[in-house]
Structure 1
Amino acid sequence: MTSDTRRAGAVQTATVPPGQAGVTLLDLLALEELDRDLYRTTAVFDEPYFLYGGQVAAQALLAAGRTVPEGRLPHSLHGYFLSRGNAARSTIFRVERDRDGRSFSARRVVAVQGGQVIFNMSCSFHVPEGGADRQVSGPPPAGDPETLPAFTLPRLFDVQARRPAQPYPDAGWDTRFWARATVELGDDPLLHASVLTYLSDVSGGLAAWHDGRAHTGASLDHAVWFHRPARLDDWVLMDVTPLTAASGRGLYNGTIHTPDGRLAASLIQEALFRDRAANGA
């Protein structure tokens, strides 16, 4: 999440603001190619908050993925939220092709609105290989999503969610939940990885440490590692946990598992963590 005003939108009962009707998740992830390695978003809408960070990160990953050799899938991304964006304006994405090796491709992406850089990302793509497939542990307990109560994930288009028992029941918003896209995503693994990225920024792992004074503010940076393929039009389980807070910043990590217990992705995010009166970038 990219700003303290976005945190104000992170209320489970949030409604869709006027102007969003008719925009779909697939519209958000549709990019117009302006020139070689230069892309622009095609869907804009009005909302009372600054641009959702997961949206711009997902779009940046898609732009980068369009420039790599066929068969290479994202395996990691590292993004920095630099300035507040505006959902009512198009975003331009400029891709730099740093390297194409025998099995890896490295890309950098800069996202610009109104001549100002709002986000940048380094990401890497890899030709899938065989070999060892291990993980230390399975997912946290979360039940069957089909039997759990529904709730609204704020600011996400065409994503439904189910709420299991919460590890931090007093937190300001959910830190563990099932989610899936409600639109058909097809079989393009880049699109599914981008929707996973879109989802990965929606929950704040520092919410468990809100004490009435210290509070999460603007997101600073966000990283995702893609371990195994996951279909995002099927249920995935997201779980985030606080790690540390110091010097006005907090760090949390998270996991995204498939319904069969396979670890699809890991994430880490750093955000401002200050007294409410001081919160702001």
Structure 2
Amino acid sequence: MLIFNYKADLEAHLAPYISKGSSIGFVPTMGALHNGHLSLLRQSVKDNNVTVISIFVNPTQFNNPEDLEKYPRTVDADIEQIATVSPDIIVFTPSVDEMYGGNTQSASFSFDGLEHQMEGSHRPGHFDGVGTIVKKLFEYVNPTRAYFGEKDFQQLQIVKKLVEKQNMPVQVIGCPITREPNGLAMSSRNQRLTGQDREKAAFIYKVLNEAKEKFKNEDVMQVKNYVEQAFAQHPEFELEYFEIADEDTLVPATVKENKKYRGFVAVMLSNVRLIDNISLN
């Protein structure tokens, strides 16, 4: 398996593939890989001539220094998992200095308002950090297709908007959420939960499914009130937000219209922040 730490070496290796028009699939990650990441890799290997995965914990997308410090870093185990998908996958594991050249700051982006909703309002600067690192990585890898999980649905829409506004020749592909057997959305942050907390966290997906069922016959505010009350009855969870939003604009809904809606939730459990979402129609 080829592992590159420097962008110049990665670009030199990929140049022949690009010159002969081979398709390059790309899966950007922050490591601590799980089956959700591996499902993205499998899709990329199936779709493309060559697949690249990056492992980089991006400091500019963390607005909480403690969260950055505690983010799991398991590169050796990650590489072992990647090899189970294909030994031909190319791994890019740069340092912070390699990616930022001693100036660890975000560029500033407009994503036509997508960045102000939900995660954007609760994590100031987060999506500038995401835009900064994804733009850099796309410029180094030159992917034909890039794969993102729908668990971070807002991020997926942000990346699509980035590609559109920057005129980047990348097809951004959203892939379904991979879940634990109990329904908990797979996330690198789950590693910070105890076994008991992982079982408790199944409640998040249970409530989302109940919200989906209620959305068929009840209005937006009734469904929101139901979810808020459900979490209020389980004080081990601290509900940060539950929103019903238009999938395209991510603008929270107040009344139902003829649009595609999704329910988005963020909660704290044992000081670990968990997000999830579900299509409502």
TM-score (norm 1): 0.28
Greater strand content: 1
Bigger Rg over Cα: 2
Greater helix content: 2
TM-score (norm 2): 0.28
